[in-house]
Structure 1
Amino acid sequence: MRKQINIQLYRMLIVLGAIVLLAAWNHDFVRIGIESNAYLNLTIIGVFLYGVSLAFRAVFSLRNEENAFNSLKEAYDDIQQDGERGATDPYWRHHRCLTPAIVVERPRILGHIYDLVYEELMRTRRLQISVGTMQQLISGISTRLSDDRSLLQYVTGLLVFLGLIGTFIGLMSMVGSVGSIIGNLASDNAAGSVDFNTLIANLKAPLVGMATGFSSSLFGLFTSLVLGLLSRFSSNASNTLKVHFEAWLASVSQIETGDDSEMLIGRDGKLDSAGFGRLAGSMAGVTKTFKRLHRDLASTSGDFAEMAKGQNRQTGYMQRSVRHLQSIADAQLNLDRKLTSTLNRMTDALCQFEERSRQQTDALIEHNVNTAARVEDAMSKLVEVLQSSDRKGVTDEAEIARGLEHLQSALHEAFPSTADATAELPAQSGGDAYAGDERRSPDSPMRASNPQYADDDDLLDDEQLMEENTEVSVPERAVEGA
């Protein structure tokens, strides 16, 4: 508690030191402001210093309150430890003689509550307070703290009021001087001459009034702001003492809830008839209280049982939901596995199809090259036959027929039949996958949709047409040559 109060005191000292440094730094400005209306501004500064002294006095007075509070705690601790340590060591408290005593005056804030608590501890050796009494004691502390705060708040408002008074005085002085200047100007204009030196001298009065108003307002508002801040720090320190005292009182006091046991049982241990009656009434009340408590506990147990059943049902719902979600997850996992295997098989099939297509394309290209070579050989043989016929001058039809038969046999050797050539393609490509049922007919949609198969059909048609043209045109050319 002392540490928290010192923190608030240090804050107040820091604020006051900052104000002093600011005034020393702008001492010329402060001096000019005070000289504009010395009496009023010095009054404002004096009221401010009085408020500062009130704030610091409120904080410094808490030291005596703290010492009184510590004495109460010490007395209570002695009472609690006297029963334990007093029997073994009657002089157990004499160690305090080694430390100097602290003189405590009657506290001002704790005041009445300090007297009441100390008297109760010394008389009954315990602290038993009713709820109403405790509330009254706490409200008494709050009232005394509010009185100190109200005085500081009044001083703060007084500073604002003095600043406004200075403002009004300055405005009235300025308005009066301006009116006199206007009157003098009117009289001078009527006389036909204006004295500018007199006019300049008269204009100083409104400026002095403005300086008075501004300086008084500045001092009043600034000092009220600073004093309000100091009052806030002082209130925090006082509240620290109040909070700690309330916490200690609530922790050590015993709240009265009914008749005291000492009223039922005499101090000498004997019971009277009235005491028996009060004791019987108290026991009956306690019995009723226990019965009501038992009924409340029974109803509470039933509520807890219903709550447990509801929680069990919710647990079953959640378990079934978890199992259902787990089955869905398993089905989804199996589906993903099947889709993955299907995609892998499709990918392998596409790769195999691509490989077979590539091999067939290579075989077709090789067949086309061989066909072109054979055509070239047949044409060269045809040219040789015709040239030999021209050189020999053969005119016999039998010779021409023999030459044509020789040419036709050469062409048959150069161009085998289309069915034999196409039947050799799978064997040349080295793939048995396309033999048999997997070969497509010319009218198959797969051949129509595949450009490669379309090229194969065109190639077969060109070979057949070449054979027909060759068989037809060779005899005609031979006849023409003959």
Structure 2
Amino acid sequence: MSNPKHTLFWMTLFLSVVVVVCALIYKPLQEAFMANWVFNLLIVCVLLIGIAITYRQVFVLFPELRWVAQFRTGHAGLSVLQEPRLLKPLARQLDDDSKRDRFSLSTMSLRTVLDAIHSRMDEQREITRYFISLLIFLGLLGTFWGLLGTINSVGEVIVNLDMGQEDFGEVFAGLQSGLLKPLEGMGTAFSSSLLGLGGSLVLGFLDIQAGHAQNRFYDGLEEWLTGVTNLVDRVEDAPE
């Protein structure tokens, strides 16, 4: 079966590139972040949690691979290994056979086990997809929040503008100071959109890599179990 270490390498390499790019544009990125640091900090926290969950999806494959490797070698001691999470349907299906370090599996049981394992993998990926959608939502929410504040601030500036003054310098100064708040709202809108959409792209790439690792694990498991099941079926169907 494929080793998930290669997937971890590409995921870590991609994150390293992202960190380097962020370091190169640190100054403008800091200014954008401070436009509304509370809301933007929430987006960054969601991104970090999503990254941790994505890495976890890959790390959980290692004990599953050790369990399968122990089973394939047929060495004693399989029963002392920790019960796998993704392969729990397979472990329960084998039950007592696993304690003798051998097993037999019918075609119908094989399909049931593979469907259950595939369903568990899909459940894990649904969490990551939710975080990707959450990042997009937070980015759009920050955008509309900032634009709403901008519209309200512009309305206040227009209402408070006193055109009856003879000194147009004071009128212009009042207009200039009044426009500072709407510009802050625009900063919130664009910074939240930048972080939310950018974070969703980063997490989306990591989710793709984690999905590839899970698919390779599933394909290898299916190929191995199918070969064993075909062998068992031939033995059972052989004439006496």
Whose Rg is larger? Answer: 1
Cα-to-partner distance string for 1:11-58 (whole Å, 9 max, x where unaligned): 100111011111111111111011101111111001000000011111
**How big is the shift at 1:252?**
1.8
Q: Contact between 1:174 and 1:205, CA under 8 Å: does it hold in 2?
A: yes
Q: Structure 1 residue aligned with 2:188, among 212, 231, 235?
A: 212
Aligned to 2:96: 119
Aligned to 2:13: 14
- The answer to whether 1:38 aligns with 2:14 is no
Q: Which amino acid aligns with 1:19?
A: V
- The answer to whether 1:150 aligns with 2:126 is yes
- The answer to whether 1:174 aligns with 2:173 is no
Which consecutive aligned stretches of 4+ in structure 1 deviate over 6 angstroms post-superposition?
A: none
Alpha-carbon distance between aligned partners in 1 of 2:216 and 2:73, rounded to the nearest angstrom: 20
Map 1:453-472; keep pairs closer than 5 Å.
none
Cα-to-partner distance string for 1:393-426 (whole Å, 9 max, x where unaligned): xxxxxxxxxxxxxxxxxxxxxxxxxxxxxxxxxx
SS of equivalent residue, structure 1 residue 32: helix
Q: Which amino acid aligns with 1:189?
A: M
Aligned to 1:239: 215
* Alignment TM-score, normalising by the size of structure 1: 0.46
Aligned residue-pair number? 236
- Counterparts in 2 of 1:43 and 1:121: CA distance versus 1, 3 Å: closer
Cα-to-partner distance string for 1:256-310 (whole Å, 9 max, x where unaligned): 59x899xxxxxxxxxxxxxxxxxxxx99xxxxxxxxxxxxxxxxxxxxxxxxxxx
Q: Contact between 1:163 and 1:221, CA under 8 Å: does it hold in 2?
A: yes
Cα-to-partner distance string for 1:179-221 (whole Å, 9 max, x where unaligned): 1111112xx1246555332221101111111111111101000
Q: Which amino acid aligns with 2:97?
A: E
**How big is the shift at 1:119?**
2.5
Q: Which amino acid aligns with 1:139?
A: D
Q: Which amino acid aligns with 2:5?
A: N
Aligned to 1:425: none
Structure 1 gaps, min length 5: 79-92, 262-281, 284-482
SS of equivalent residue, structure 1 residue 243: helix
Q: Which amino acid aligns with 1:234?
A: A
Q: Which amino acid aligns with 2:8?
A: L
SS of equivalent residue, structure 1 residue 147: helix
Map 1:2-401; keep pairs closer than 5 Å.
2-3=2-3, 5-75=4-74, 104-117=81-94, 119-122=96-99, 127-185=103-161, 188-190=162-164, 195=170, 196-253=172-229, 254=231
Structure 2 gaps, min length 5: none
Q: Contact between 1:163 and 1:217, CA under 8 Å: does it hold in 2?
A: yes
Aligned to 1:374: none
Q: Contact between 2:89 and 2:117, CA under 8 Å: does it hold in 1?
A: no
**Segment of structure 1 superposing worse, 109-118 or 42-51:** 109-118
Give the superposed CA RMSD.
Answer: 2.7
Cα-to-partner distance string for 1:222-268 (whole Å, 9 max, x where unaligned): 000110000010111111221111111112235559x899xxxxxxx
Alpha-carbon distance between aligned partners in 1 of 2:218 and 2:81, rounded to the nearest angstrom: 18
Q: Contact between 1:131 and 1:255, CA under 8 Å: does it hold in 2?
A: no
Alpha-carbon distance between aligned partners in 2 of 1:235 and 1:138, rounded to the nearest angstrom: 16
**How big is the shift at 1:122?**
4.4
Alpha-carbon distance between aligned partners in 1 of 2:89 and 2:209, rounded to the nearest angstrom: 26
Q: Contact between 1:128 and 1:256, CA under 8 Å: does it hold in 2?
A: no
Q: Which amino acid aligns with 1:23?
A: C
Q: Contact between 1:8 and 1:234, CA under 8 Å: does it hold in 2?
A: yes
Q: Which amino acid aligns with 2:13?
A: I
Alpha-carbon distance between aligned partners in 1 of 2:145 and 2:29, rounded to the nearest angstrom: 19
SS of equivalent residue, structure 2 residue 83: coil
- The structure with higher relative contact order (CA 8 Å, sep 6+) is 2
Q: Contact between 2:43 and 2:195, CA under 8 Å: does it hold in 1?
A: yes
SS of equivalent residue, structure 2 residue 47: helix
Aligned-residue identity in percent: 32
Q: Which amino acid aligns with 1:217?
A: S
Cα-to-partner distance string for 1:325-352 (whole Å, 9 max, x where unaligned): xxxxxxxxxxxxxxxxxxxxxxxxxxxx
